[in-house]
Amino acid sequence: MAQDNSLLEKLEALRLRFEEVGQMITDPAVIADQKRYVKLNKEYRELEEIVEMGKQYKNLVDNIDSSRKMLKEEDDEEMRALAREELDELEEKKPEMEEKLKCFCFLVILKIQKMP
């Protein structure tokens, strides 16, 4: 779970930067400075995909939590079986998604740092 939190914290930081850059590229002063505008626009595009992937990951984690909660609280065996099946499917997807996100986060951060 600590790994979830660490990854979610990194994704949240990237999402906040995405929003910040989104606001900056609409600022007339930034638009007037074409060099800065182009750099920020590239950064915005780089962040956009990781933010979307982050939303999908957050949704996956939330669904896992919901399925676990249902397993604990549900008395109906049929509902518990459905929750178990869903939980198994979601947990199977999670490691692959985490690896993709980690690699993609790393690449995005490197690209942003190397931008002129």
Burial class (CB in 10 A: 0-12, 13-18, 19+), 43: buried
**Residue-wise pLDDT tens digits, 52-80:** 999 999 999 999 999 999 989 988 899 89
pLDDT band at 3 (very low <50, low <70, confident <90, very high): low
Would the pLDDT of 7 be above 90? no
pLDDT value at position 116? 65
**Residue-wise pLDDT tens digits, 78-100:** 989 999 999 999 999 999 999 99
Q: What is the DSSP letter of 98?
A: H
Fold entry, domain 2-114: Methane Monooxygenase Hydroxylase; Chain G, domain 1 (1.20.58)
DSSP three-state, residue 33: coil
Residue range 9-18: average pLDDT? 90
pLDDT value at position 5? 72
pLDDT value at position 88? 95
- Sign for the CA dihedral angle at 48, 51, 55, 60 comes to positive
* φ, ψ at 26 (rounded to 5°): -100, 0
**Residue-wise pLDDT tens digits, 36-55:** 999 999 999 989 999 999 99
